[in-house]
Structure 1
Amino acid sequence: MSKVVLITGGSSGIGKSTGECLVNKGYTVYGTSRSPNNYPDSKFPILELDVKNLDSINKTVNKIIETQGKLDVLINNAGAGITGPIEETPDAEIKANFETNFFGPINVIKSVLPHMRSQKSGLIINVTSIAGYMGLPYRGIYSASKGALELLTEAFRMEIKHFNIKMVNIAPGDFATNIASGRYHAPLLDDSPYKQPYSNTLKLMNEHVDKGSNPELMALRLFKIINAKNPKVHYKVGEFMQKFSIVLKRLLPDKIYEKLLMNHYKL
């Protein structure tokens, strides 16, 4: 029997590319979206799921189990971007971002764990971000939410290891997806003391996404992780300098690394 895979946020970008790749490899794939009817031409079923709604999560997970009798792999891919000066970002938007990027994945994990535990096997892959390894200016909330998911995975995987359930992180760099159009942008206020540096940084971030790598590279890496006998804790996928920036942070004094970041963003 083919492995059954659930991909949250499977209607576009990395989720869509991964789903199509796995279908072509013979997997049974389910994607999710808050508006599944918008994707009638998907190569795999798109089910309704809102990671901020526990009832929605449980309903979809149970539907897959009832249909397939098992769930082998969860790819926690649904996420949301957010930019802006932290001082000027509304509390409601900060909380909403953590609901999607942090609490949402936790609740999906909690929903699938009893099923995986009963079948004595399973793999959970949390899609984080290279931005989660460092506090990036005007993307601090996003960095914090993804960094929190990285640390959560380190703890969670030790708690579930004796159930024969594996959990890993995969941190992408910039990929050519629609995340920029869907992210929350704190408004550029004319009287803001952050107006010019935020404007410059926002333009640079959008350029990075537009010139990002093909999401199919992430799909192929996820396929390899699913087939790994003993997957690693952390994976990073992206351009060399994006991955090397994590190494530099470990090696360089904090203030020198901070200066490199500020020079990069022209701050």
Structure 2
Amino acid sequence: MPSANVNRIDREIAYFQAVAAGRKQLYAWDPSHGSLIEMSGDPSTAKAALFVVPGTNTTADSFYGDRPVTGFGSWQVNEASGAVISFTVMTGPMPQLSPLMLDGPQLNTFAAERAPEYASFVRGVSASRPDLWTMSYEHSYAGAIGSAAESHGGTVDARFMAASVGAAGPYAPSSNTEYYAAQAPDDINRYYAGLRIGNVGFDIAPERIPGVQIVETGLPGFDLWKVAGSSPLVVKDSVEHHNALMSDDERTNGDVLRFVKKKLKEGAS
């Protein structure tokens, strides 16, 4: 059987063939640093910009294949009839789940490293198109990046923290930004949200950020803390519900997809 690495190379080749053919819009790529940003939509007609920042386990390979991480942003662009442009943003190495947990999402150091880069990207788009209304959709670990980026000038008109880890304090929200947060009742992040010791953890849960508006996900599940001795099956479901908030399938993530669509429409008007 072909190795996973060979399959990845095949997907990478197919991806850049699609870029060359104009089927993909590669905005920035720096393999030496581990960054990749893909654009969707027409800048000449856009009135709002959506920045989608995927979280834990994101790599360049996440952009390849039949179900790329760009799906959420592309769905919003397709629904907006030219009024929205999206960028799926990975500015550098992201935390990865591994048995030893040496570079996992428990470390807030990745957020500190990626935050200046993300802020620079946001400032660059805003400088080139100051007329655009901007929204940042941050999934999982990316919520901490979006929070940290604000102190580097990476502010947007609205932030949506989807199944987010929260923020590493001290943190104060921007007075010029609308804040939204959503997570399933049994989201895996609820196990440790609001806990931090030094470089491990995030002491500010997303739902506790001052002024944040909670958006219902429509996902099933129940509060993990109310389940005595949670079984592996319960944990598996909580991970699936966590990942669902990056889905572009309306059957899975319809409530959040439509909410973001509504906000983008309002911002573009």
Tell me the TM-score normalized by structure 2.
0.42
Q: By percentage of residues, which structure has more helix?
A: 1
Larger radius of gyration: 1
Larger RCO (CA within 8 A; separation ≥ 6): 1
